[in-house]
Amino acid sequence: MSRRASGLKAWVVQRVTAVYLALFGTYLALAFVFAPPADHAALVDWVTGPWVMLGLLVLIPVLLAHAWVGIRDLFMDYLQPIGARVLALSLVAFLFLASGLWAVQALIVARIA
């Protein structure tokens, strides 16, 4: 990709991930508003069903990629000192990595328990 189009990949990633988040996120929100799981067993049943589980496993990296492109844009606009920007982006990267792996772990443990 040419230097002048260096932002194009992030632009495409942001839009493709947005479509998945809008669709699956709306499903999750509607399910939570109209049929919230009443107890632990109901939550585990719902979340570890084959389709919801797969949808959530896909959601985690897709959501983090979308959040990453967005927060990176913000730091590029508002955080000009390069040292501060690298530090902030590093913190966010580790926070996202830890959150994502934690959520995946919780899902898999609930599935095999």
Partner 1 sequence: MTTNRPVFLDLWRIRLPVPGVVSILHRVSGVLMVLSIPVFTALFAQALSSPDGFAAAAAFVGNPLVKLVLLVMAWALLHHLFAGIRYLVIDLGWGVDRPTARKTAWSVLGGALFVTIVVGGMLL
Cα separation, 78 vs 85, whole angstroms: 9
Its sign, for the CA torsion 46, 48, 50, 52, is positive
The residue from 25, 53, 89, 93 that contacts partner 1 (CB under 8 A) is 25
- Under the criterion CB under 8 A, does residue 91 sit at the interface with partner 1? no
Question: What is the size of the binding site for partner 1 (CB under 8 A)?
Answer: 32
Residues 45, 87, 91, 105: which binds partner 1 (CB under 8 A)? 105
> How far out from the chain centre does Cα 40 lie?
24
Q: Within the chain, where are the H helices?
A: 8-34, 40-47, 50-78, 82-112
Interface with partner 1 (CB under 8 A): 15, 18-19, 22, 25-26, 29, 33, 39-41, 43-44, 47, 64, 67, 70-71, 74, 92, 95-96, 98-100, 102-103, 105-107, 109-110
